[in-house]
Amino acid sequence: MISREEVLHVARLARLALSEEEVEPMARELSAVLDHVATIGELDLADVAPTSHVIEVTGRLRPDEPRPSWPREQILAAAPDANDDGFLVPSPQA
């Protein structure tokens, strides 16, 4: 069973705030899924290579040709807060 402290630690890593009521059910549900996932621990996989890509492709290169990116104002228009130069966010050290 995943502990309350583990849940809060992982939530911190995931940049996810959890309300007090969310912590206990999260611990329970994660534990249930991880118990099921643990069945792959029983397999002997010592000599098996991990899949990195399902369809075999060899390193594919393309010419490095400069092309225009999106207009800045179009991208900034989708932001919750922006000025003419960039995205506006709260101070990291308020």
Partner 1 sequence: MADVLDLTAAQAAERIAAGELSAAELFSFYRDRAAADRAAGDDGLNCFTWVAEPGEAPPADGPLAGVPLAVKDLFCTRGVPSQSGSRILEGYEPPYTATAVERLQGAGASLLAKTNQDEFAMGSSNENSAYGPVRNPWDRGRVPGGSSGGSAAAVAAGLAPWALGTDTGGSIRQPAALCGIVGLKPTYGAVSRYGMIAFASSLDQAGPLTRDVRDAALMLAQMVGQDPCDATSLQFPGQIAVPSAERLDGVRLGVPSELAGDGIGIEAGVKEAFDAALAQAEALGAQLSEVSLPHAPHALAAYYVLAPAEASSNLARFDGVRYGLRAEGASDLIDMYTRTRHDGFGPEVKRRVMLGTYALSSGYYDAYYGRAQRVRTKIAEDFAAAFSQVDYIVTPTAPTVAFRLGEKTGDPLAMYLNDYCTVPMSLAGIPAISIPCGLSGGLPVGLQLAGAAFSENGLLDTAHALERALGFDGSAARV
- Rounded to whole angstroms, how far apart are CA atoms 53 and 40? 20
**Kind plus residue range of the DSSP H or E element containing 31:** helix 20-37
Residue 84 token pair:
């003419």
90 lies in the site for partner 1, by CB under 8 A? yes
Number of residues interacting with partner 1: please give it, by CB under 8 A.
52
What pairs with residue 82 in β-bridges? 87
Site string for partner 1, 10-49 (x = CB under 8 A): xx-xxxxxxx--x---x--xx-xxx-xxxxxx-x-x--xx
Helix then strand then coil, % of the chain, to nearest 5: 40, 0, 55
Q: Is 69 in the site for partner 1 (CB under 8 A)?
A: no
Token look-up 């709260």 returns: 90
The minimum distance between CB 79 and partner 1, in angstroms, equals 6
Q: Can you give the binding site for partner 1, defined by CB under 8 A?
A: 2, 6-7, 10-11, 13-19, 22, 26, 29-30, 32-34, 36-41, 43, 45, 48-55, 57, 60, 62, 70, 74-75, 78-81, 87, 89-94
